[in-house]
A = this chain, B = another copy of it.
Amino acid sequence: MTESWLDKVRWSDDGLVPVVAQDAASGRVLMHAWMNRESLAETVRTGEAVYWSRSRCRLWRKGEESGHVQRVREIRLDCDQDALLVRVDQAGGVACHTGRESCFFLKLDEEKWADVDPVLKDPREIYRK
Contacts and interface: CB of A to CB of B under 8 A. Distances in A.
A111 interface: yes
Interface residues of A, number: 36
A79 B118 CA distance: 13
A31 interface: yes
Contacts of A81: 106
Contacts of A113: 5, 8, 77
Nearest to A96: B79
A75 interface: yes
A107 to B, nearest CB: 5
Interface of A: 3-5, 8, 18, 20, 22, 27, 29, 31-32, 44, 74-83, 85, 96-98, 100, 103-108, 111-113
